[in-house]
Amino acid sequence: MPRLALLLSTFIWGATFPATKAALEQIPPLSFLFLRFFLGTLLVGIWFAMARHRLRRGRNILYAGGIATLFLFLGYVLQTVGLRYSSASNSAFLTALYVIFVPLILRRFDRRVIVATTIATAGLWLLVKPSTTMNLGDLMTIACAIAFAGHIVCLERFTRAFDAPSLLLWQLIAMTLLFIPAMWWEQAPAGAFAPSAVLLVGLAVTGGLATGAFAVQMWAQRIVPAQQVALVFASEPAYAAWLAWYFLGETLDIQGWIGSGLILIAVVIGAFVSNPQPAAHGAAEPA
């Protein structure tokens, strides 16, 4: 069940690509990211109030949330800035390399996961068709993939040690605060924030649905090993390509269909199997 929930949430992550692409025709990227995380913070805060769930404020959970947020923020910033110098195809491929970095960081080299990772990487290459040249933007995107891998690894440990909803909200609050100076630096015109249909839909998908997907990830990582989470997330570029093909009219040739099919095969092989689950790193933080 947690793996299926992750797969469905990854579909939402994939939907953020065409939604964001359409919204960025109106608003600069860092300003959009601020609005996205601000909306997510409001929605999760409303859930806390309605569910009467107490927000944990202990020093340890704040420290854990700070570490996880650092990786998450670096991932988004490096990906966004790197995209200015790198091609979209290279960015998509290199970002998804967290599927390799997660087991390397954790030193988990299960044979089935290695096979699935190899198939997923080949599928990603066929899907996005990156160039073999390397520039500054590509290097920044590789660093972004390492940052996202670090975030996945952090969540495996921290969601087992602390209250997951509180950890989620602290990350959203921190991301919102960090993007305030970034938005100021971008100096977007007032017209960029006009509540157009495109912007509202983009925020609904990224700030609403994707925040729900983030919450699902926080819950699932209490159960699913991090390397399997990374493999499930590798299906995100495939979903993004399909949705962009359907809604935005972007082309997807036979090579792309084969590549996306290989990615889904890799997800089934590597994630939907009975593997021993890692032991929890600590008891949940007491209420």
Structure tokens at 208: 């609403």
The predicted-structure confidence for 176-200, as pLDDT tens digits, reads as follows 999 998 788 888 888 889 999 999 9
In residues, how long is the chain? 287
Please give the structure tokens belonging to residue 205.
Answer: 């998908």
Measured from the Cβ of residue 252, the count of other Cβ atoms closer than 10 Å reads 16
- Write down the pLDDT at residue 284: 43
Q: Can you give the pLDDT at residue 89? A: 61
133 lies in some domain? yes
Structural domains of the chain, count: 1
Please state, in angstroms and rounded to a whole number, the distance separating the CA atoms of residues 64 and 154: 8
Return d(Cα 182, Cα 186) in angstroms, integer: 6
pLDDT of residue 279: 42
What pLDDT does 188 receive?
83
Enumerate residues 6+ apart whose C-beta is below 8 A from 110.
103, 227, 275
Question: Residue 227: which of 158, 149, 118 has the closest Cα?
Answer: 149
Residue 203, classed as helix, strand or coil, is helix
Angstrom distance (rounded) from CA 14 to CA 127: 14
276 part of a folded domain: no
| Residue 276 scores a pLDDT above 50 | no
6-17: average pLDDT: 79
In the numeric block, which tokens belong to residue 206?
A: 């990224």
pLDDT value, residue 278: 46
| Nearest to 121, CA basis, from 10, 5, 270 | 270
- 283 versus 59: the higher-pLDDT residue is 59
Residue pointed to by tokens 């699902």: 216
**Which pLDDT value is given to residue 70?**
96
User: Mind listing the pLDDT tens digit for each residue in 95-117?
Assistant: 888 888 998 898 887 788 788 88
Number of H helices, E strands in the chain: 13, 0
> Average of pLDDT values for 241-247?
73
Higher per-residue confidence, 22 vs 150: 150
Residue 280 lies in a domain: no
pLDDT at 14 exceeding the cut of 90 = no
Q: What is the pLDDT of residue 277?
A: 46
pLDDT at 273 over 80: no
* Cα separations in angstroms, 20 against 92, 140, 234: 14, 20, 19
Q: What is the domain range of residue 32?
A: 2-183+194-271
The whole-number pLDDT of residue 246 equals: 73
Q: Report residue 251 as tokens.
A: 């082309």
Residues 6+ apart with CB under 8 A from 141: 78, 79, 82, 83, 86, 90, 91, 94, 95
| Domain annotation covers residue 188 | no
What average pLDDT is seen over the chain? 83
Indicate the DSSP class of residue 224: S
pLDDT tier, 269 (very low <50, low <70, confident <90, very high otherwise): confident
250 pLDDT more than 70: no
Question: Of the candidates 64, 13, 1, 6, which has an alpha carbon nearest to the alpha carbon of residue 226?
Answer: 6
pLDDT at site 11: 81
* Residue 287 located in a structural domain: no
- pLDDT given for residue 88 in this prediction: 63
Tell me how far CA of residue 152 lies from CA of 155, 227, 228, in angstroms: 5, 9, 10
pLDDT at 87: 66
